[in-house]
């Protein structure tokens, strides 16, 4: 079985500051890992994913995440926050034969002017 | 760009009524899913569907729920007798092709169900 823990249900950063959203996972098999973003009243949009290969993955809108197996982490970062980054961010894991994703509880990102 | 579409975007119903939520997955995808998100809570898996049958379901997906692919394009979620606690945003998703799959799910915009 897989599980995801997102530390911090709410994160606030100033515009231009570093964004760091934390995600730790549990999986009995090598995982596929994902970050999705949800803007108000919208669906879930894929930001980036890790499947195999390079552990540092780049996504849309300047976001990137690094898969660290030893720490079972997949933290999401962006060097410089923009007002348009304000949204809810979900980390998700898929492992083994299961095709469905297991989501974390989400982190609401607020960007302060 | 292909996308998953869902209808209705918002439905209000009385407790005990039947509700059908509709989804048109991406056309060459083979795996279909329903998730729900109760307001302020996490996105929860309900069911996955492949080759015209349920492949996985969660404990949330009890006998009140059913899914169907009535034709080659639609994928529906039926709630037989709605309860107040069924109020949520329901997301349809699809994934996979006949070739190699990277595992990501493509989500629709959601159908908000309000049970009164």
User: Which of chain B's residues have a Cβ under 8 Å away from the Cβ of A101?
Assistant: 45, 105
For B17, the 3-state DSSP assignment is coil
B103/A44 CB distance under 8 A: no
Q: What is the pLDDT of residue B67?
A: 97
The residues that bridge with B99 in the sheet, in sequence order, are: none
Nearest chain A residue to B32, by CA: A100
Distance CA B45, CA A102 (A): 7
Average pLDDT over residues B27-50: 91
Chain A residues 16-75 within an 8 A CB cutoff of chain B: 32, 34, 36, 42-46, 49, 51
pLDDT class of B101 with cuts at 50, 70, 90: low
Contacting A with CB below 8 Å, chain B residues are 4, 31, 33, 35, 41-45, 48, 50, 55-56, 91, 93, 95-96, 102-110
Q: What is the pLDDT of residue B103?
A: 73
Closest CA relative to residue B2, chosen from B71, B86, B95, B66: B95
Between A99, A102, A103, which is nearest B31 by CB? A99
Task: Using the predicted structure, report yes or no on whether residue A28 has a pLDDT greater than 80.
Answer: no
Average pLDDT over residues B35-52: 91
Task: Using the predicted structure, report yes or no on whether residue B102 has a pLDDT greater than 70.
Answer: no
pLDDT class of B107 with cuts at 50, 70, 90: very high
- The dihedral formed by the CA atoms of A52, A58, A64 and A67, expressed in degrees to the nearest 10: 10
Cβ(B3)–Cβ(B107) under 8 Å? no
Residues whose CB falls within 8 Å of the CB of residue A5, separated by 6 or more in sequence, listed in order: A23, A24, A25, A26, A104
Distance CA B42, CA B56 (A): 19
Closest CA relative to residue B44, chosen from B60, B56, B32: B60
pLDDT class of B72 with cuts at 50, 70, 90: confident
pLDDT class of B100 with cuts at 50, 70, 90: low
Distance CA A93, CA A2 (A): 7
Q: What is the pLDDT of residue A54?
A: 86
Cβ(B34)–Cβ(B90) under 8 Å? yes
Q: Would you give the end-to-end CA distance of chain A in angstroms?
A: 41
Alpha carbons within 13 A on the beta-carbon side of B25: 29
Residue A109: exposure state from Cβ atoms within 10 A (0-12, 13-18, ≥19): buried
Cβ(A112)–Cβ(A12) under 8 Å? yes
3-state secondary structure chain A: CCEEECCCCEEEEECCCCEEECCEEECCCCEEEEEEEECCCCCEEEEEEECCCCCEEECHHHCEEEEECCCCEEEEEECCCCHHHCEEEEEEEEECCCCCCEECCCEEEEEEC
Cβ(B80)–Cβ(B66) under 8 Å? yes
Q: What is the mean pLDDT of chain A?
A: 92
């Amino acid at each position: 079985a897989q599980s995801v823990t997102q530390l911090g249900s709410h994160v606030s950063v100033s515009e231009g500051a570093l964004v760091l959203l934390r995600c730790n996972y549990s999986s009995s098999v090598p995982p596929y890992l994902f970050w999705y973003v949800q803007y108000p009243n919208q669906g879930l949009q894929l930001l980036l994913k890790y499947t195999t290969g390079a552990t540092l993955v780049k996504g849309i809108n300047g976001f990137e995440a690094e898969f660290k197996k030893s720490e079972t982490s997949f933290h999401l970062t962006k060097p410089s926050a923009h007002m348009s980054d304000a949204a809810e961010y979900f980390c998700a894991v898929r492992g083994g034969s299961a095709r469905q994703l297991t989501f974390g509880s989400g982190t609401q990102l607020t960007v302060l002017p | 760009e292909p996308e998953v579409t869902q209808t209705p975007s918002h439905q209000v119903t009385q407790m005990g009524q039947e509700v059908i939520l509709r989804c048109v997955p991406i056309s060459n995808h083979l795996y279909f899913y329903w998730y729900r998100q109760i307001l302020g809570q996490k996105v929860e898996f309900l069911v996955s569907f492949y080759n015209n049958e349920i492949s996985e379901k969660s404990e949330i997906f009890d006998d009140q729920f059913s899914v169907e692919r009535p034709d080659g394009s639609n994928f529906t979620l039926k709630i037989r007798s709605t309860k107040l606690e069924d109020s949520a945003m329901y997301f349809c998703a699809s994934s996979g092709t006949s070739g190699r799959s990277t595992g990501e799910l493509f989500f629709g915009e959601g159908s908000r169900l309000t049970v009164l």
